[in-house]
Amino acid sequence: MARKPKTPRWLEAARRRKEPVPEGSRADWLARALGRAGVLPRAEAEQAIQEGRVELDGRVERDPFVPVHAGSAVRVEGQPRSLEARTLALMFHKPAGVVVAGHDPEGIGTVFERLRAVLPPELRGYEWYAVGRLDRDTTGLLLFTNEERLVAHATSPETHVSKRYVTEVEGQPSQEALRRLREGVGLDDGPTRPAGARLLAPSRVELVLTEGRHHQVKRMLAAVGHPVRTLHREAVGEVTLDVPEGTCRLLTDAEVRQGLDFGGPA
């Protein structure tokens, strides 16, 4: 049975208040719009709203999920703030050990904590969404964006945005093993798409995937008899990791449009 689509929280708020749904400009809710525009990260925005420090169209607003659009007049701490936002993306060099989650029950840390520690001041007001996931022990390129549509674009199997990995494996893969990877491997959730596969060293394999299933690289290599020892992501689309471990940089507009093939607002 198909799951019923979830009603957006801003739309629920509009219905509760019996207000018309904004038309024309992109509809959103107040706390998320503040995070997208770089005014306040969403958790801080929700707190500021609930504490009465945010005005919307001339009145104090205490509902973080009240519907807004780009033309809404917003003041934070009495200062006018625009909800206009362009699409931003940044690369982060993920170290091993940290998780791509909001909380780490093991106490090692999350990528969001590591990212915020190295963000320049002008980027700290944004709400940053991770573009996909990397396992705790996987290192390398992890993209973040303030635009959820970019997340959907880069992670959807329909868009075929490639991801390039370098992995150290057990044993020395044969040309037959590489051929199987290139043609697609049968996994318990179905056959994989054909992948780019080449040997960089006797036990080092480069894989290029255009889909992103759970633990896919590890499962593909295990399926051809070469379990993964280490895994590192080098590139997403045409964007290649070029910053030291634990650091980040903002992508250029060209990298977003051409490197990630994203045609959204930039």
Rounded mean pLDDT, 118-128:
97
**What pLDDT shows up at residue 120?**
96
For 74-117, the pLDDT digits (tens) are 999 999 999 999 999 999 999 999 999 989 989 899 999 999 99
pTM of the shown model: 0.88
Q: Give the pLDDT of residue 28.
A: 84
Model confidence over 146-168: pLDDT tens digits? 999 999 999 988 888 999 999 99
Of the options 3.40.50.300, 3.40.50.970, 3.10.290.10, 3.80.30.20, the CATH number for the domain spanning 9-81 = 3.10.290.10
pLDDT score recorded for residue 266: 41
191 Cβ contact list (under 8 Å, min separation 6): 184, 185
Provide the pLDDT for residue 7.
66
Check whether domain 163-236 has CATH 1.10.150.120, yes or no: no
Which of 239, 243, 222, 242 lies closest to 231 in space, CA to CA? 222
Q: What whole-number distance in Å separates Cα of residue 46 and Cα of residue 35?
A: 10
Nearest to 154 by CA among 194, 207, 97, 211: 211
Residues 207-222 have a mean pLDDT of: 94
Tens of pLDDT, residues 225-244: 999 999 999 999 999 999 99
Average pLDDT over residues 209-217: 92
Q: What is the pLDDT of residues 25-42, one digit of tens each?
A: 456 899 999 999 999 999
Helix H, strand E, coil C: the string for the chain is: CCCCCCCCHHHHHHHHHCCCCCCCCCCEEHHHHHHHCCCCCHHHHHHHHHCCCEEECCEECCCCCCEECCCCCEEECCEEECCCCCCCEEEEEECCCCECCCCCCCCCCEHHHHHHHHCCHHHCCCCCEEECCCCCCCEEEEEEECCHHHHHHHHCCCCCCCEEEEEEECCCCCHHHHHHHHHCCEECCEECCCCEEEEEECCEEEEEECCCCCCHHHHHHHHCCCCEEEEEEEEECCEECCCCCCCEEECCHHHHHHHCCCCCCC
User: If you average pLDDT over every residue of the chain, what do you get?
Assistant: 91
Tokens of 196: 């780019």
Is residue 132 scored above 90 in pLDDT?
A: yes
The rounded distance, in Å, linking the Cα atoms of 125 and 123 is: 6
Other beta carbons less than 10 A from residue 140's beta carbon: 23
**Which CATH superfamily hosts domain 89-157+253-259?**
Pseudouridine synthase (3.30.2350.10)
For the chain, what are the domain ranges? Answer: 9-81, 89-157+253-259, 163-236
What does the pLDDT average to over 247-258? 96
> Hey, which residues are catalytic here?
135
The pLDDT value recorded for residue 142 is 98
What count of other Cβ atoms lies within 10 Å of the Cβ of residue 75?
16
| Confidence grade of residue 70 (pLDDT, cut at 50, 70, 90) | confident
Confidence of residue 69 (pLDDT cuts 50, 70, 90): confident
Question: How large is the average pLDDT for residues 179-206?
Answer: 96
